[in-house]
Structure 1
Amino acid sequence: MDLLNLFWIFLVIAAVTPVIRQRMLDASRLRLMRSLEEKRGSRVIALIHRQESLSFLGFPMARYIDIQDSEAILRAIKLTDDDVPIDLILHTPGGLVLAAEQVANALARHPARVTVMVPHYAMSGGTLLAMAADEIIMDENAVLGPVDPQIGQYPAVSILAAVAQKDVNRVKDETLILAEVAQKAVRQVEATVGRIACCHYTPEAVEKLKEALVSGRWTHDYPISVEEARSLGLNISTEMPAEVYRLMNLFPQAAARRPSVEYIPMPYPTRPAAPGAGERKK
């Protein structure tokens, strides 16, 4: 066998190996999702976006909730019988309001129990989906986020506040038009939250959610902890199935790079402390 043949064999193996690895990864995900479905008697849907940038020809890319995601989830909900519960695993920074609203409406209309599981974070549109569920299961350190609308690079409520502080005759026509759009966006999102949350929460709780999540109380990336989410009236549990964490491990970052966090992936029993260990230095 000459060097040319060895070179072609190497090229074939290099081309086929990533495909085989991806197929094996996909099969592992499906097996784990099926195991969770059998354990909980539900249909499991995973909406998992990696917030980190992907390296593609030097250009950074990121994943968000888009129309393709909403179409896929809507098809999955359509394939689910009315008496079958739905478990939606969420890991997303948010995305298009249209896509998130479509999915949230479909989840709210599903007759059987709907559970949203948040192992790490579900911001913006992800929080909108969570409010459509009968129960939100969060890791103790997971977070949700406000759903206040954004107009371009600015929060809608901030545009309205800025215009209100100036003489209308000294404001540009473009800014006034932007403020009108911002006002409509706030009303629309408030109506969406009211329509979705009223299926599972009292009118008083719905108004509290609107005021906290839509009115601009926090910045758009503010992390809402489990305790704060409960104080807002959301139905929160922290009994996260172990399968969800294992499933997250099967959605690795696509970019090939050295991980910045390393540890031995196993629980440690309580061990005797070494002499002097744990003592604070003065």
Structure 2
Amino acid sequence: MYKDRLDLYSQIEKKRKRPLIAYVTSSRQNNGAGIISADVIPEFCNQIKLIPDKYKKIDLLIVSNGGDPITVWRIMSLLRERFEHIGVLIPYQAFSGATLLALGADEIIMHPFSNLGPVDPQMQSHSPNGTVHFSADDITHYMEFVKNEVGITDQEQKERAFELLCDKVTPLDIGVARKSTILSMSLGEKLLGTHMQDPNTIKSISSTLNKSFYHHGYPIGKKEAIALGLPVAKANKDIENIMWNIWSDFEKEMKCNDPFDPLSTAMEQDAFAEKCGIVNKHDFSKETYATVITNIPVGVNLVYYELLHAALESRNAHSGYYTTSQLSISKEPNLNLHYSITQICGKWSRR
């Protein structure tokens, strides 16, 4: 919880002699994940306003699977307008857009368990046949496969292969994917250019992160990040331990290791747990599952719950992106359960 992390923030600030802001988005599976998105910008403005003018350096601790690259640029631009030196602390995973954010730092402090990742944009194409996930490189590799591996060189046949591709991914989506790749390359170079001088190094790092790993989830560890030419700081065990403790507390609060389960979530509510014959909601387990199913009233049962998807905080203030949802549990006479979830509201809240 936030109050438990305050002392950890103080410890890092004393050792680093600068303020710290922490930005974490949840990686909880099934219904609880969060992403970097534009609605966090007002919260960053508030955090920056609370920092006394005497400080010219700032640390940003980040854990996230990524999100909107333009928001990343806005965040780093806000920090650059106010501070002369930016450190990014990565206790665990900082993939995709979070890696882009790290590219804008003068100094990157990585825990031995942490990872950066490729920044190649991932796209979705929707059609009557379903949703396809792809990147611009996937299109390129498909056409190369048709030409070099299958051996199709006739122009008419290659055009037919492209038409078959367009049955799965629309031409407009292909254009957007290509444009997004160019944007990612450009932002990577701009972010690196805020603290690096050599244009060749800048282009090399940005190009490598966009094109060289062949999987968007490829984990780039500390040694590989150094080999890429990123400004990764030397190890400091004290800082690493504090970083990990901060992340561990977030991980527990956001339940990142507990995939969202409707019935388990309902059982967290005392009234519903008691209705199902569980006096202590923490006693719910696979051993008590049959009892719970039997005791749930036939018909529609409504349960309300709240999830924390993202948090931005410092010693000065905490804000979180919380959603409140209605969980409907419908039980049939044959004991079959059906679930439906309706999100009632979602917003940043300063607490």
The verdict on a shared fold, with TM-score over 0.5 as the criterion, is yes
CA distance 1:215–1:147, shift in 2 (3 Å): same
> Is the strand fraction higher in 1 or 2?
2
Determine the structure 2 residue equivalent to 1:244.
Answer: 243
Work out the CA distance in 2 between the residues paired with 1:160 and 1:181: 14
1:1-282 aligned within 5 A? 25-53=1-29, 60-80=31-51, 81=53, 83-152=55-124, 153-162=133-142, 165=146, 167-168=158-159, 170-171=162-163, 172=166, 175-201=170-196, 202-215=198-211, 217-237=213-233, 238-239=235-236, 241=239, 242-251=241-250, 252-255=252-255
Work out the CA distance in 1 between the residues paired with 2:211 and 2:246: 35
Question: What is the root-mean-square deviation in Å for CA atoms of aligned residues?
Answer: 2.6
Work out the CA distance in 1 between the residues paired with 2:14 and 2:236: 17
Shift of 1:91: 1.2
Shift of 1:83: 4.1
Shift of 1:76: 2.2
Secondary structure of 1:60's aligned partner: coil
Greater RCO (CA < 8 Å, at least 6 residues apart):
2
CA distance 1:146–1:107, shift in 2 (3 Å): farther
CA distance 1:253–1:78, shift in 2 (3 Å): closer
Task: Note the alpha carbon deviations across 1:26-82, whole angstroms, 9 max, x for none.
Answer: 2222333234324322121111233133xxxxx632122122333322432354437
Q: Does the 8 Å CA contact 1:118/1:139 hold for their aligned counterparts?
A: yes
CA distance 1:138–1:188, shift in 2 (3 Å): same
Q: Does the 8 Å CA contact 1:205/1:232 hold for their aligned counterparts?
A: no
Q: Does the 8 Å CA contact 2:18/2:55 hold for their aligned counterparts?
A: no
Determine the structure 2 residue equivalent to 1:19.
Answer: none
Q: Does the 8 Å CA contact 1:84/1:112 hold for their aligned counterparts?
A: yes
User: Structure 1 residues 41-50 or 74-83, which shifts more?
Assistant: 74-83
Task: Note the alpha carbon deviations across 1:256-275, whole angstroms, 9 max, x for none.
Answer: 889xxxxxxxxxxxxxxxxx
Q: Which runs of 5+ in 2 are unaligned?
A: 125-132, 147-156, 259-263, 265-281, 283-351
Shift of 1:130: 0.7
CA distance 1:110–1:215, shift in 2 (3 Å): farther
Instruction: Give the letter aligned to residue 205 of structure 2.
Output: L
Determine the structure 2 residue equivalent to 1:18.
Answer: none
TM-score (norm 2): 0.59
CA distance 1:168–1:223, shift in 2 (3 Å): same
Work out the CA distance in 2 between the residues paired with 1:47 and 1:73: 9
CA distance 1:157–1:107, shift in 2 (3 Å): farther
Shift of 1:253: 4.2
CA distance 1:109–1:159, shift in 2 (3 Å): farther
Work out the CA distance in 2 between the residues paired with 1:31 and 1:87: 16
CA distance 1:137–1:204, shift in 2 (3 Å): same
Shift of 1:226: 1.0
Instruction: Give the letter aligned to residue 56 of structure 2.
Output: V
Work out the CA distance in 1 between the residues paired with 2:45 and 2:142: 39
Work out the CA distance in 2 between the residues paired with 1:110 and 1:136: 19
Shift of 1:193: 0.8
CA distance 1:114–1:221, shift in 2 (3 Å): same
CA distance 1:253–1:159, shift in 2 (3 Å): farther
Instruction: Give the letter aligned to residue 167 of structure 1.
Output: K
Shift of 1:126: 0.8
